[in-house]
Chains A and B, each alone.
Chain A
């Protein structure tokens, strides 16, 4: 059949008319903009971009148009649908972001709530203090030597030039095991570890001894704020060719500055110990008042105004000790020193009562954490 399309439906033609398409597009864009949430947007999508939406219907009419009209109408409808879809996508992103933001606000918590569900552990400052000291010496190439707490009398006394009539061997000072004929003691110092090191390792060319010996020791002291039947010592022993008091001083100065801060040094005073000759007491320049004896608030509490703190004993190893321990004293000399770890911690941390170290109150120990 040819001739004009007399069947042409003016209504359907109207659907793709520029006015109609524009109206449908504008209605869709307005509805998209008005959608307040994702739910509403979903309804808008169905109404304005769904299969039965005006623009979808208009699209369907395009095929019915005369060929010369199709291109123009197709362009018109296609652009309108594109604009609607773009607006939908943009609004979708917008509303999703809004939604997420709202959820995050709703999920807010009070971050100041306590969180201490799990118990806090800690290592004892006597342990970590001994490690701190050991590390200072290990960094200098020294080693850490250890020995038993219940020790042979010979190693605790005789080998260290504390002869059978030395006052320290009386029952007043030393815990003896029962029966006394077993010749065993709770070691009164960590010095037997020094003797053991010399005896078992020996000293030879190229193999000097540089050891620190931290450990638990016992004396029959009554238990009070400054005395304890059990306490902790660290001793050091260096045996090498040409060792002198100058090396002792150098080592202790280094130890002091590592332990208490740059510039903290030591001084020696003549003293007496059976295992050393010459012997000296070691004082530490007060690390709080730096030797002045007082600060703005008055007399320094750490050194009680002395400017110095008594730290320990030291000296050149007595050749009699070297002899008993098999070291050739004509070739080698050595120095030894010793101080209380408990006491060192007491003044380093300002502890008032020695007993807090042994009570086991977790509030004391946890304050120090896992390292000193």
Chain B
């Protein structure tokens, strides 16, 4: 909402000491947020005057352009009184028109200095200005400013006419303050803020209803509780818009179109009530108000043909719908430059219906914006009468005697409020008297009940006020939000972070300690993403929760894996020159549940437990995942030698480090699964339940994402991992007796896994075994094709004594025997 300060001052008796800054500060404190102050004319210096074009010679140029060589009467402003010769490239004006001229010596915004200069074979002394050149908002006219004929005389300083010096305040109006989408509302707030007199422009003596202005039949009084109309005739469509109306309409950011249209907009800005004018000669028969019928169409003023919904409120005549009620008029009855009889209409519309119609037709208009937020229902008659007054005064029209006024404004609710509620909810010491005073100041009717309770009827222009808390906000904002004291609530007795919250922090720190950098990426994916991961057509990861309105049609789903975002981030780092990158991300992924749809319950009572259960179950399954990507150098190269390239084992190392940190025993087996290398992918399980995968990425996946081959990745279900985390670590028991070492080298077939040999050794060695660790793998001619030699370090220790060589030897032999039996191992 843009409100010229001069207009505000016309309606409210503000002292001189109230500067624009003081005013905006106070209004912001009351809830009208300042968006900006526009001071027209900033950056303009020197002689800026009104001129009248005397002659205009069109001179075609070699470059194809046509320039106008003009002589312009600028009165005495040029010192000589002689016409001023000016070259102008615009064509939207002609001889006799009044224009705005900047003379040599003047400066336009952007430090554009004007001087006499030779151009197109003439000495051009000044410039005829457009709105853009003056730094004014685009008026849409696409050319120089043509001053209305009744504007100031040539030679007059143009600043006043242009509204310079009149600051325009732009407010951001919250949805609950729709009344402030008018000068009436803004001025009322200003009066409230400075406790000064306010002239309500809506207070006017209406003529007696003397018969109908027009036949009107409101079929849907719920959608249209109030409908007002008057007729004027003898309107002179050639009359220009008075300068003050044009200026104010433009200051408010609207285009000046014609007198009749400008007047309706002017009154809308003044009162907040949208008004529509029909060319009465084009209206066929009586008006009706109803919901549109199935299949009906309407061409609106913006020339769009709209298929109407049976929920749309329309205004009809005998031909059918002629306007989308409250949102936009129709083309067939539009006022034109030949219109002489104008049917002026204003109505109160159901706000919800207005909102839905606007949304349905993707149509925003100044009228719709106000109607959907809620307009004062007492205004339609007032607004119509005010428009008629202006059309008569400035358009030479005659008001026809009839006045159609159908319906009555809906009753406002009576709200009962305890007088101390504002004090209790704000923490400010607000007396009952202050409460009553402030509620009256906003226009409410307050009755003090015997019990002490207040019965409050909010003013007609405040449809947002419906319950006691709404009244509290009104009282507190007038008292001032800055009066709210700062008091800490009583100390709560919380239980600290939950177990999973603590575990998540621990996991993050462990990964950072392992040299991994955390990434936060968007969870949007599409079929192409899964193709890049090489997932089969029936891969369960392709079953996603889709989005109805994705930002990109390429990525229409919520992701089922964190890898794509991470792989892209890794590639970005590699592309930016990182020799190696280790990244991790934790985040939720989503899998559809088939328990939908989610119910919509009422809001007047809490849903039952069963209803809540149903609601929660309808949501997609959203486990917390962890993914890690390792690409390029895992350790850096340097003077110490070459760094190690990341590979499958680094991925498993990260998993094991995490499992150790959480005290989880994981099992590692192998599997072929995209996007991993089919022979280098580990399945990670806990208690025989798969919780994720780790290993080297498939070469085609590395290539698809632009990563070095052998890049490795991990993805784990973190919820599952955390669920397995040890809760209270049992105190470890260990022996301080001497250690006995035995190393064994076992030759097995390639297909035998280290884990299998290790398990056999462990089982065979018995309870004296403290640890077993593979320390070398050898393949080569000595061993034979298809065979490998595994060297294990066995460590033995007893709890209570030093082991003898015989005991250690026996345990070692038993371990080797078990390995031989279970894996075919042969000791070297």
Contacts from A to B (Cβ < 8 Å): 113-114, 116-124, 126-127, 131, 134, 138, 140-144, 146, 148-155, 158-159, 161, 163, 165, 167, 170-171, 175-184, 186, 199-200, 208, 210, 216, 220, 222-223, 229-230, 238, 240, 242-251, 253-254, 265, 267-272, 277-281, 316, 318-320, 323-326, 333, 357-362, 365-366, 370
Contact = CB atoms under 8 A, between A and B. Distances in A.
A222 B175 contact: no
B634 to A, nearest CB: 7
B548 A272 contact: no
A268 B484 contact: yes
B466 to A, nearest CB: 10
A178 to B, nearest CB: 4
A257 B618 CA distance: 41
A161 to B, nearest CB: 7
Contacts of B514: 121
B263 to A, nearest CB: 30
Interface centre among A127, A278, A281 (most CB of B within 10 A): A278
B211 interface: no
B643 interface: yes
Nearest to B578: A362
A110 to B, nearest CB: 10
Given A152-B619, A223-B551, A229-B522, 10 more contacts: A121-B517, A142-B492, A142-B494, A165-B356, A177-B546, A240-B490, A245-B426, A249-B487, A270-B477, A360-B573
Nearest to A110: B639
B639 A272 contact: no
A265 B498 CA distance: 30
B352 A165 contact: yes
A161 B470 CA distance: 14
Contact of A119 (B424, B426, B635): B635
Contacts of A229: 522, 524, 551
A208 to B, nearest CB: 7
B31 interface: yes
A312 B816 CA distance: 69
Interface string B465-478: 00101101100110
Nearest to B481: A268
Contacts of B28: 269
A244 B424 contact: yes
Interface string B602-627: 11111100001001101110100000
Contacts of A120: 515, 517
A318 B33 CA distance: 22
B558 A272 contact: no
Contacts of A370: 508-509, 512
Nearest to A268: B481
A48 B117 CA distance: 116
Nearest to B546: A178
A138 B497 contact: yes
A365 B638 contact: no
A176 B521 CA distance: 20
Contacts of A238: 489, 492
A372 to B, nearest CB: 12
Contacts of B523: 149, 230
B801 interface: no
A359 B620 CA distance: 27
Contacts of A181: 597
Given A170-B359, A277-B472, A278-B472, A124 B606 contact: no
Contact of B509 (A123, A251, A253): A123
B262 to A, nearest CB: 29
28 contacts: A117-B636, A119-B636, A138-B494, A144-B501, A149-B588, A150-B590, A154-B598, A154-B600, A155-B615, A158-B601, A165-B356, A171-B549, A178-B547, A179-B548, A210-B489, A238-B489, A242-B424, A245-B425, A246-B485, A249-B484, A270-B30, A270-B481, A271-B174, A323-B604, A324-B606, A358-B522, A360-B570, A361-B569
B583 interface: yes
B355 A246 contact: no
A262 to B, nearest CB: 14
A271 B514 CA distance: 47
A196 to B, nearest CB: 9
Interface centre among B597, B607, B616, B622 (most CB of A within 10 A): B597
Contact of B425 (A116, A117, A159, A244): A244
Contacts of A360: 519-521, 565-566, 568-570, 572-573, 583
B647 interface: no
A250 B491 contact: no
Contacts of B604: 323-324
Contacts of A251: 488-489
- Chain A at the B interface: SS class: mixed
Contacts of B547: 175-178, 186
A150 B570 CA distance: 27
A117 B635 contact: yes
A202 B596 CA distance: 26
Contacts of A244: 424-427, 487
A229 B551 CA distance: 8
Contact of A278 (B175, B469, B583, B635): B469
B545 interface: yes
B730 interface: no
A124 B598 contact: no
B254 to A, nearest CB: 22
A118 B489 CA distance: 48
A269 B29 contact: yes
Contact of A220 (B494, B549, B596, B605): B549
Contact of B583 (A175, A250, A281, A362): A362
A210 B492 contact: yes
B359 to A, nearest CB: 6
A362 B517 contact: yes
B707 interface: no
Contact of A319 (B33, B469, B493, B508): B469
Interface string B169-209: 00000111100000000000000000000000000000000
Given A170-B359, A319-B469, A365-B517, A150 B492 contact: no
A150 B618 CA distance: 11
Contact of B427 (A158, A246, A265, A320): A246
Contacts of A269: 28-29, 31, 33, 481
Given A165-B355, A186-B558, A365-B519, A134 B512 contact: no
A254 B30 CA distance: 25
Contacts of B572: 359-361
B596 A182 contact: yes
Nearest to A121: B512
Nearest to B355: A165
B599 A154 contact: yes
B226 interface: no
B640 interface: yes
Nearest to B600: A154
Nearest to B421: A333
A150 B619 contact: yes
Contacts of B488: 140, 247, 250-251, 254
B15 interface: no
Contact of A176 (B473, B487, B549): B549
Nearest to A230: B522
